[in-house]
């Protein structure tokens, strides 16, 4: 397995190519200034809903501005994630986020103005046939009529949000760049514990090594419990304040509304999952027995029931993904191969890189994928998952105008999880060894554990701490520890003891 000490050591073919977003920082800076100028001109469109031609002009102007703004934002975001903690990257990202806020304030006039129209006045706008291409977008704004507030109040909320600490950026920087988790000795070689290799280290056969890694990691995290709880508390209060001012019951209500998910549907999902946690507990009992463990501790949960010693080179992973998605047809195959041919993926692990995996999309360029590639099947699964998002976005871009190239996460996850199912199916039917075929079964079980049970559990926890703060309480480290333990007990039962967190 290839290990890298820094980004400079990573071969070019294993880094993402960002040149079709911006060739260099000079081009980025030029576009940044261009966006600033476009934002300043937005004031000329105040009152545009009174004139369908002026409204059409504004909508075209706004969608082009949004595309360029998103290009600027994403570029700053991914450059920062390449190497967290670098002051120039952090400063660029902060300035870009401030630009987003200026755009939000400058366009805050539009929704309240549109919603001042009566239903009859609104319907008459579309006597101008040109506006029909924006009708779905306008309908989506109009459905939120009870949640739109006057533009002066909207500006206050934007300024308040901009002044609050950026919880996500601060957390990522602390976890991936500033924290030193120490090292662990594996087969006589010292290896630094990082966010990007944590899961791999916790798969080590030696339980003492797994315990050492988990204990060292938890010890560092514990030192910052109070800071992390304070940041989370501030973030939640900001969300609740904004949701309240927009006439939502709370932040969770706002999240469901924006995802077009009725609360009844969400609760049906929660009840179905929590009514079947015994199946999850049965799975972990089989997991424990298969691995012949006396106790199943938190440090054991990344272990694999099927031991597959095979390492997948990046090239082998690419080939495996392409073979797995063949049932979706030649055109889909061509689109997926484009990801590899055009170097859309940033693969390598090294200190200070943002951990995890994601696909991030603009409106007028193909998405980019960040990975922490560890040469195992789990990493291959991440490629095919995030690749599903990328190809989905390619098809959306090819078949829709700019204003309809965004998508709710609930829809986006269908594409990625379908691909993970295809990978599991391919391994079961075409694995070269018994272990590889069994690994296909284990892979789909992991998808269910993480993306069904795990996602619902995390969602319920999020809903709980929103409610906790809404009731006048403050999030503390003790509260988050107790909340986490209560959900582990609820979902895992006595199979995984929460007191060993």
Is the predicted pLDDT of residue 158 greater than 70, yes or no?
no
What confidence score (pLDDT) does residue 459 get? 93
* Alpha carbon distance 435, 305 (integer Å): 10
* Alpha carbon distance 173, 16 (integer Å): 21
Q: Is 412 domain-assigned? A: yes
Which residue shows structure tokens 């996602």?
455
* Residue-number span of the structural domain to which 341 is assigned: 314-459
Q: Is 214 domain-assigned? A: no
Q: Is 184 domain-assigned? A: no
> What confidence tens digit (pLDDT) does each residue in 392-403 have?
999 999 999 999
Q: Is 195 domain-assigned? A: no
Q: Is 444 domain-assigned? A: yes
Structure letter (DSSP) for residue 3: -
Contact 355, 82 (CB under 8 A): no
**How many angstroms from the chain centroid is the CA of residue 82?**
16
Q: Among 134, 165, 196, which residue terminates a domain?
A: 165
> What confidence tens digit (pLDDT) does each residue in 309-364 have?
889 999 999 999 999 999 999 999 999 999 999 999 999 999 889 888 899 999 99
> What confidence tens digit (pLDDT) does each residue in 289-304 have?
999 998 888 889 888 8
What confidence score (pLDDT) does residue 235 get? 86
The total of structural domains in the chain comes to 2
Q: Between helices 314-324 and 409-430, what is the axis angle to 10°?
A: 100
Q: Is 77 domain-assigned? A: yes
> What confidence tens digit (pLDDT) does each residue in 6-55 have?
999 999 999 999 999 999 999 999 999 999 999 999 999 999 999 999 99
What the block records as the tokens of 99 is 């630009």
Q: Is 237 domain-assigned? A: no
The pLDDT > 90 percentage for the chain reads 64
* DSSP 3-state of 53: helix
389 versus 234: the higher-pLDDT residue is 389
Structure letter (DSSP) for residue 174: I
* Alpha carbon distance 196, 202 (integer Å): 12
Of 139, 136, 21, 111, nearest to 404 by C-alpha is 136
**How many angstroms from the chain centroid is the CA of residue 231?**
19
Beta bridge partners of 192: 183
Q: Is 299 domain-assigned? A: no
Handedness of CA 480, 482, 485, 491 (dihedral sign): negative
- CATH number assigned to the domain comprising residue 61: 1.20.140.70
242 versus 492: the higher-pLDDT residue is 492
Q: Among 145, 165, 185, which residue terminates a domain?
A: 165
> Per-residue DSSP letters for 176-212?
III----EEEETTEEEE--TTTHHHHTT-S-HHHHHH
Contact 492, 284 (CB under 8 A): yes
């Amino acid at each position: 397995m290839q290990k890298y000490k820094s980004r400079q050591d990573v071969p070019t073919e294993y880094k993402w190519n960002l040149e079709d977003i911006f060739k260099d920082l000079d081009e980025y800076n030029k576009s940044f200034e261009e966006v600033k100028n476009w934002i300043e001109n937005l004031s000329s469109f105040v009152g545009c809903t009174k004139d369908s031609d002026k409204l059409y002009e504004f909508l075209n102007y706004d969608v082009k501005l949004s595309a360029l703004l998103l290009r600027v934002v994403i570029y700053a975001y991914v450059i920062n994630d390449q190497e967290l903690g670098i002051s120039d990257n952090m400063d660029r990202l902060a300035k870009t986020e401030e630009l987003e806020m200026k755009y939000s304030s400058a366009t805050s006039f539009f929704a309240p103005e549109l919603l001042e129209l009566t239903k009859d006045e609104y319907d008459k706008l579309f006597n101008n046939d040109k506006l029909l291409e924006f009708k779905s977008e306008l309908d989506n704004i109009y459905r939120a009529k009870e949640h739109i507030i006057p533009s002066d109040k909207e500006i206050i909320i934007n300024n308040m949000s901009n002044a609050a600490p950026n919880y996500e950026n601060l957390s990522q920087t602390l976890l991936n760049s500033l924290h030193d988790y120490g090292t662990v000795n594996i087969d006589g070689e010292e290896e630094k514990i990082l966010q990007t290799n944590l899961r791999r280290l916790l798969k080590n056969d030696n339980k003492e090594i797994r315990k050492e890694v988990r204990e060292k990691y938890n010890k560092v995290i514990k030192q910052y419990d109070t800071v992390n709880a304070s940041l989370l508390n501030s973030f939640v209060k900001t969300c609740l304040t904004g949701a309240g001012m927009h006439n939502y019951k709370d932040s969770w209500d706002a999240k469901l509304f924006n995802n077009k998910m009725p609360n009844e549907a969400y609760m049906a999902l929660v009840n179905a999952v929590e009514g079947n946690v015994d199946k999850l507990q049965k799975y972990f009992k089989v997991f424990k027995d298969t691995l012949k463990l006396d106790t199943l501790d938190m440090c054991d949960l990344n272990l694999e029931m099927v031991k597959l010693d095979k390492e997948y080179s990046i090239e082998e992973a690419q080939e495996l993904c392409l073979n797995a998605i063949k049932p979706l047809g030649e055109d889909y195959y061509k689109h997926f191969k484009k990801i590899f041919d055009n170097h859309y993926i940033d693969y390598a692990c090294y200190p200070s890189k943002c951990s995890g995996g994601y696909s991030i999309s603009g409106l007028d360029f193909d998405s980019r994928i960040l990975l922490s590639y560890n040469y195992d099947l789990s990493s291959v699964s991440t490629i095919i998952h995030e690749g599903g998002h990328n190809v989905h976005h390619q098809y959306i871009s090819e078949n829709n105008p700019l204003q309809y190239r965004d998508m709710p996460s609930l829809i986006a996850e269908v594409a990625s999880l379908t691909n993970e199912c295809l990978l599991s199916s391919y391994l079961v039917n075409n694995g070269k060894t018994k272990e590889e075929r069994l690994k296909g079964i284990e892979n789909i079980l992991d998808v269910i554990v993480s993306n069904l049970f795990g996602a619902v559990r995390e969602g319920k926890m999020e809903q709980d701490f929103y409610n906790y703060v809404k009731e006048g309480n403050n999030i503390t480290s003790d509260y988050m520890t107790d909340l986490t333990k209560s959900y582990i007990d609820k979902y895992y039962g006595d199979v995984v003891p929460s007191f060993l967190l």
